[in-house]
Amino acid sequence: MSTTTYDYVIVGAGTAGCVLAARLTENPGTQVVLLEAGGNGGPQEMASPDPLASFSLWGSSVDWAYSTTAQAGTGGAVHSWPRGKVLGGSSAINGMVHHRGHPAGYDAWEAQGATGWNHRELLPFFRRSETAEGRDPQVRGTDGPMRIETPPEPSALAKAAFRAAVESGHKPLEDGNGGESEGVSWRETNVVAGQRQSAADAYLRPVLDRPNLRVVTGALVRRLLMDGTHCRGVEFSAGGEVHSALSERETVLAAGTIGSPHLLMLSGIGPADHLRETGIGVVADLPGVGGNLHDHVTSYVVYSTQEQPRPGGHGAEAQVLARSSSDVAPDLLFLFVEAELQPRWTGAGPGGYSILFSLMDPASRGTLRLRSGDPAVAPLLDPAYLSDERDLERLTAALRIARELGRTDALGPRGTAELHPGPAVQDGDACRAYLRATASTYFHPVGTCRIGTDDLAVVDPGLRVRSTTGLRVADASVMPSLVSAPTNATVLAIAERAAHLMAAPAHA
């Protein structure tokens, strides 16, 4: 077994890991190793600017290919959870969306005990992550690694969708990531010069020649190396051999909502009773590890149309951030897609368009639990979709709003028929049955190592794992609750702030 020592050991080269590796090695005296279970690259579709090309990457060599347990709230369905297994992680196989969501979602974190994690405190790190030319520099970045280009010219159908939203009373926004976020805007994407821009493309690949950075691909981390409650580093397998990477300062888990809690529990950090049941010795009894698992839940309305589908490639898409009722923060996101989406992401075809809608602040909470003490065995993932009836009621409101958009003067004449749910689905029971039969993931699981100060929190506001030393988590798992947007832009900001905290430990 080979053993090498660094200042920082980072587990996972997804969005967060790429940010951390790039920022921490800006100091030439800081030695960092970044461990990634996947490879350096993969299928050609990974460079495609078309979000629908992501379908072809599921189940490929760059996908962990997770799936949930059978979900009672969605008719017993098992949902595929693709997650990137490659440099760049899920940012290399996702829909390339760059969206922050409404400030209220971040302020809710602080209200739940994540002291200092509000929108005002995170804004500088959003700005640090991006370059958005022509936008308001008070809220948008001017020199960050992620380049946000002006959305391409929208098609006639996309323009009609934007007009439909305005016709329905949604405020038109010049910048959906600007000073205002509630309303209709053109969706921003991580696409540069006609190619996908993953976090690895933006942050990691430009700095791979730094002598103080080592990146190891094909490295499956098996366990944390614990000296009592102090983390000394990790044990990982690569090239058919077992190795150790030790950290002089800290080990940072950036393995995501699934990988980070999985590794904690494999190493004896988690709910004590569950660990004992799995035959794992308890190092630290942290009952919140693997709890609080939740995800955006989505469904859709689909219309047939006689209009020509847009050519392949990426085009501008209109999105709407709205409220299910007047007494809540914006909690519904609508996206107009120029394709006939098939049930539960089983495909998309021409000849129709879809209004996708998602519940962005679900109340339902589930768990991640070990299936085995073997690190190669995937954990049990139970997001408990629609287990809280409030989620179903808010999705019912979203269905109503989506249909209103489809009936506007701007869009109505373009759809020749409502294919899903169809004109027969009208009353409350029928709508709820349709939603349970079609609701699915929006690919944004979070929360399994949440920030807080209560007994169920996993990391403190400095992202340090409670009841341990030398160990932090910095990825989507630390989010106490979801924000009203896809999560990649948020994870960039979390990781930027984590790097800042680690560079200034006296203030962490």
Active site residue 444: yes
Which candidate in 102, 444, 500, 507 is catalytic? Answer: 444
Alpha carbon distances (Å) from 318 to 136, 144, 183, 335, 458? 20, 25, 10, 6, 37
Find the DSSP H helices in 71-153. 103-111, 119-129
442 annotated binding-site participant: yes
Contact 431, 425 (CB under 8 A): yes
Exposure string (b/e) for 324-340, b if CB count within 10 Å is 16 or more?
beeeebbbbbbbbbbbb
Q: In this structure, is the dihedral angle defined by the CA atoms of residues 460, 463, 465 and 470, taken in order, positive or negative? A: negative
Nearest to 473 by CA among 485, 461, 482: 461
Any known ligand binding at 212? no
Q: What share of the chain is helix, strand, coil (3-state, %, to 5)?
A: 30, 25, 45
CA dist 225 and 231 (Å) reads 6
- 139 known ligand binder: no
Strand (E) or helix (H) holding 318? strand 318-322
Q: What phi, psi does 204 have (nearest 5°)?
A: -85, -50
> Hey, what's the torsion of the CAs at 157, 392, 260, 94, to 10 degrees?
-10
CB 492 within 8 A of CB 499: no
86 is in an annotated binding site: yes
Tokens of 229: 């409650």
Using a 10 angstrom Cβ sphere, with 0-12 exposed, 13-18 middle and 19 or more buried, the burial of residue 274 is: middle
Q: Residue 153 is encoded by which pair of tokens? A: 């010219």
CA 324 to chain centre: 22
Is 27 marked as a binding-site residue?
A: no
Determine contact, residues 18/255, Cβ cutoff 8 Å: no
- Residues marked active site are found at 444
Residues placed in the known binding site for substrate: 442
Residues placed in the known binding site for FAD: 86, 94-97, 221
Residues placed in the known binding site: 86, 94-97, 221, 442
